[in-house]
Chains A and B, each alone.
Chain A
Amino acid sequence: MQFSVKQPAPVKGHLPVLLPMRSTGEAMPLTDKVFNLWTAALLFLACAAALVTPALAQQDGEGQRTILDILIEWTPTIGSGFAFNVLISVCSMAVGTVLGVGLGILQVSPLRIVRQISWVITQFFRNSPWLVLLFYCILLIPFQIELFGTEVPFPGWIKAVLGLSLPVMAYMSEYVRGAIMSIPVGQWESAESLGFNRAQTMREIILPQTVKRILPSWMNLYAVLTMATPLVSIVGVNDVMALTRAALSAEGRVDLLIPMYLYILCWFFIYCYPISALTRRLERKFSVQL
């Protein structure tokens, strides 16, 4: 067993003797060599393979297409379904952002009753499950409304957009409130001394400054919303998830299940990962270094 001392930092007067000694190069005990994480993982994989292989083998018939061929064949359908999901997410984000900014401004209103009511609304929608809100909108909004004497149909996906925009509104409202509260009071006071009224101050001085603070959370919220869009398949909208399950039942092959679901997961991963990576970069850029 040998000991080595951590390399001293190049600081004058920094004595290496004050740093703790760490042992390195210790021989690994035999038990650790055999029963470590890697062998455990290998054993697990071997067990999984042993379980999975018979299920795959019994499906082996003659003249069947390979799984890759099937995936490529269904790609246009899945792509169009995914585009629909993106459309739903963009629409709900737009509606939710507009409503949320309004609600957030109401949350810092000088009137106490307005503040309290908007706080209750925000907390209520923030703490109820997305799926329940979605059911609420799908089942309780009529499927067509009468507008100026004509019947306007109200398709399911628009109701789904409204249902998804409610939690977005609540989250956005909290972000806006937090951002407005984090603007120094001096900004309000100097605006007042320059003769701005409250609405002008809010619109021209406070809100532009909050954009930078809200942006990372807003992007993160968009990623979360996109990942919530498959929920609409539960309430009967034909999104990517519904199409995938239709494709799976059309093919009717057990060995297709894992690749197909992994394929869908990859679609979402490829769409959402850049957003969250960019969010993290923005967060780091805007963060205050202590």
Chain B
Amino acid sequence: MDSTSLIEWLRPDWFFDLAVVSDEYNRGRYLAGLWMTIQLSVISIVLSLIVGAVGAAAQGAQSRTLRALVGFFVAFFRNTPPLVQLYFFYFAIGTVLQITGDNGRPVPLVSNFGWAIISLSLFAGALNVEIFRAGIEAVPKSTVEAAEALGYKRLQIYKDIVLPLAVRISLPALGTNLVNLVKTTTLAYAIAVPELLYVAAQIWSEDLNVQEMMNVLLLSYVAIVGVLVWVLHHWEKKLRIPGYGR
């Protein structure tokens, strides 16, 4: 193979030949899909963290009923497929939860985007409950006792001693779960939320460039996950307590 054909084979201009780069219409759709995926991910991550924190706090509560309820919630959401959960929310509850719109026709109360966020947050939140609880349990008893000896109140101990330590302990597991959550946002495809996979499928069914769009899609997700991993890693390093770990 001589050098010209090698360069031709390598195609240095391949990047500008991509349908999502060269075609303005496709580029717009792709970027809208990317933005939708990022929105889905960020909102679900925040909500799942809230669900996790509230659930973990409830599991440390006095009331046995409350603890049992949270335990059931966690067990159920951990052991059923996220796709079926999404279908349950969107097709079952979403069909029933309808209000009368302006033109007298029934209009869904929550959009498909809303149901995707609710379903993803609850699924990831159930796993976060477990992760946070494990983190809280891993805080040494003697640290809590030392705080008690110093006259801290229960809430103060939780806020100033246990939580900061527990967050640091649970960060690695939390990172894995959040990466999983970002990957799970592709499920929103099933209820026609125009996220990255959905627009990619639209583009490849119109332009018949399945392989190219597939590669673009995979690389996009690897990039998004890469950014998230980088942020979490950075955060982990920043929060590191001297004298713990390596």
Contacts and interface: CB of A to CB of B under 8 A. Distances in A.
Interface of A: 18-20, 37, 51-52, 55-56, 124, 127-132, 135-136, 139-140, 223, 226-231, 233-234, 241, 245, 248, 254, 257-258, 260-262, 264-265, 268-269, 272-273, 276
B53 to A, nearest CB: 16
Contacts of B98: 55
A241 B84 contact: yes
Given A129-B183, A234-B190, A264-B84, A37 B66 contact: yes
Chain A CB within 10 A, most for which of B80, B81, B151, B225: B81
Nearest to A271: B79
Chain A CB within 10 A, most for which of B76, B179, B210, B218: B218
B114 to A, nearest CB: 16
Given A140-B214, A254-B96, A261 B79 contact: no
B88 interface: yes
Interface in B81-127: 81-85, 87-88, 91-93, 95-98
B29 interface: no
A265 B184 contact: no
Contacts of A229: 81
Contact of A265 (B84, B179, B210): B84
Contacts of B43: none
Contacts of B217: 132
A268 B84 contact: yes
Contacts of A257: 91-92, 95-96
Interface residues of B, number: 43
Nearest to A135: B214
A171 to B, nearest CB: 11
B137 interface: no
A254 B95 contact: yes
B197 interface: yes
B96 A272 contact: no
B68 interface: no
Interface in B21-77: 66, 75-76
Contacts of B85: 265
Contact of A128 (B78, B96, B149, B221): B221
List the 8 shortest-distance A-B pairs measured between CB atoms, nearest first: A261-B88, A257-B92, A227-B81, A129-B183, A272-B79, A131-B186, A129-B186, A258-B92
Contact of B97 (A18, A51, A226, A230): A51
B225 A268 contact: no
A141 to B, nearest CB: 12
Given A129-B221, A131-B186, A132-B218, A55 B66 contact: no
A52 B81 contact: no
B158 interface: no
Given A139-B214, A234-B189, A227 B80 contact: yes
Given A254-B95, A257-B96, A230 B83 contact: yes
Contacts of A124: 218, 222
Interface in B195-246: 197, 201, 210-211, 214, 217-218, 221-222, 225-226, 229
B183 A268 contact: no
Contacts of B17: none
26 contacts: A18-B149, A20-B148, A124-B222, A127-B222, A127-B225, A127-B229, A128-B218, A128-B222, A129-B184, A129-B197, A129-B221, A132-B217, A140-B210, A140-B211, A223-B79, A227-B79, A230-B81, A231-B83, A245-B87, A248-B91, A257-B92, A261-B87, A269-B79, A272-B79, A273-B75, A273-B79
